[in-house]
Amino acid sequence: MISEPSSTQTTAPALLRLIHQLIVVRASGKLADHQRGYPRWELPNNKLRSLLEAGVGGVILLGGSAAEVALRCSQLRRWATGPLLLCADVEEGVGQRFDGATWLVPPLALGRLYGREPQQALELAERYGQCTGRDARALGLNWVLGPVCDVNNNPANPVINVRAWGEDPATAGALAAAFVRGVQAAGVLGCAKHFPGHGDTSTDSHITLPLLPHSRERLAAIELPPFQEAIAAGVASVMTAHLMLPELDQERPATLSKPVLTGLLRQQLGFAGLIVTDALVMDAITGRYGAGEAAVLALEAGADLVLMPADADAAIAAIAEAVASGRLNVEQLEASAERRLQALERCAGSGSGAAVAVADPEAAAQPNQALALELVRATMETAGSTGAATPQAGINLIRLDSALAAAAAVLSATAPALARPESRGWRTVLLEARSPCPWSTDADTPLALERLGPGQVLLQLFVRGNPFRGSAGSAEPWPAALRQLARAGRLAGLVVYGSPYLWEELHPLLPQGVPGVYSPGQMPLAQAEALQRLGSGLGLGDTEASAGFTD
């Protein structure tokens, strides 16, 4: 139980300490201030330490290797004066964010597998959760901000997309619940997001405020079932969505709406765990409310934890003023603090969440590595003839979408999508967000082939929905480009990494005898396996049985 005094006896210092417990701030996973990748959002160490000493209840981490994050988590716990929630957005395994841990295929890959092999997909989803939980605990994290329970029934969705577990409520709910069982069995907390459902939007709440005009009946049929399944599976927390639902609240977005958080989530769905806001620094909120007012409105609506306020000090001061003016009462804040403590007590190690010592890290990592490869192989799709011969090496044309341009982990100099074709004599042409593209002005022949140079073209497209980009995939004319290459007899093969929607658009256009592969994953492991699947006819295969791990 929390030890703060009751509302009739709460002193100013005790009230401030209580308020601090309900704030979750952002920090870099790296130790030094100059290493911060996003200084606008990631607090410097002196400020971070001051807030932790004052009792701030949680930290969300981004950046750094797994080894660095383990050190960082230990440091943050030393600075804190009480039990601390340490979390990260690791929806695709901990290695998605922190190099050295296990990076898994996007959840939607299992959603597509569920349509073919439901039992296999359910088993893999639970193991996916277990793997994520084991890796998180090994680093010292005790809270995984997943699963995404949104139903991605809008392929144009730029912010959810392949992060969802399904494109229909039954699939999304079954797999999200399996993930919850797996991740929490590993001793960390899960988080169902983004309530009450962000799947059917074509705008990104990082940039603007989406509008969902759906009726209550539609929400009950499509958006809510996955959250209900996650709640039934015992998920520890639920994260809110920054979107407008006029049928529920005509004035405020879901994150700040009492009818949504208290009326729908608490009372109608019976959720008794932690309610955490999505990051309040996002433009959907900061563009309309100040940092302090947004935090107060979120707590008034029924949230327990305020994630990433635009200004932590302003949020804390505004909450204290709201208590003084009667807008908020101490009993409500104490109830939120109690739910936070109960969540911490669910973590292994009596709520400490400290990193788990591993006697043999390499041996411990082997099941996770095996799962990563199993997921890649189970969710990969092929089309055309994957044994077709090509006369000689040509051009390795790679499109790296804008949100991945800085992701060295995806396409480093040693990444198989680059290194393997180059080692076989293929010449790489890399198209990034800011690089000049060989486009012509002719809609029917969009590639300026004379600028590419001679030779067969292996086309590798890294495209997926990504936050902050504002679109669900490339708007570039790849169907016309594929037809153009086919007419010229220059298309050697196609690999699409990430977006199933782009793959569904392109693979029917492959000429007979031209191989194509779809990989939901974009990580080096997936690249190696995709090139292996493409066929030895292109000279890109590997005779090693574990080709996914080595080149």
Active-site residue identified among 20, 194, 206, 214: 206
User: In 10 A of CB 256, how many CB atoms?
Assistant: 28
426: its two tokens: 């293929």
Q: What is the spatial distance between Cα 278 and Cα 338, in angstroms, rounded to a whole number?
A: 20
Q: Note the helical H segments in 140-237.
A: 169-185, 216-218, 225-232
Please indicate whether residue 194 is annotated as part of the active site. Answer: no
Report CA-CA distances (Å) from 425 to 107, 393, 453: 35, 6, 15
Q: What is the spatial distance between Cα 443 and Cα 45, in angstroms, rounded to a whole number?
A: 52
What residue has token string 């990076």? 103
448: its two tokens: 């300026």
Q: What is the spatial distance between Cα 215 and Cα 385, in angstroms, rounded to a whole number?
A: 47
Residues 6+ apart with CB under 8 A from 307: 24, 58, 60, 239, 276, 277, 278, 279, 280
Q: What is the spatial distance between Cα 493 and Cα 396, in angstroms, rounded to a whole number?
A: 10
Ramachandran angles phi, psi of 477, nearest 5°: -80, 60
Percent helix, strand and coil across the chain, each to the nearest 5: 40, 15, 45
3-state secondary structure of 34: helix
Reply yes or no: is the peptide bond before residue 194 cis, omega within 30 of 0.
yes
Q: What is the spatial distance between Cα 213 and Cα 377, in angstroms, rounded to a whole number?
A: 39
Active-site residue identified among 89, 249, 278, 401: 278
User: Which residue type is seen at 15?
Assistant: L
Report CA-CA distances (Å) from 175 to 226, 429, 446: 9, 38, 40
Q: For the chain, report the end-to-end CA distance as a whole number of angstroms.
A: 54
Please indicate whether residue 99 is annotated as part of the active site. Answer: no
| 113 within 8 A of 120, measured Cβ to Cβ | yes
Q: Is 78 exposed, middle or buried (0-12, 13-18, 19+ CB in 10 A)?
A: exposed
User: Which residue type is seen at 81?
Assistant: T
Active site residues: 206, 278
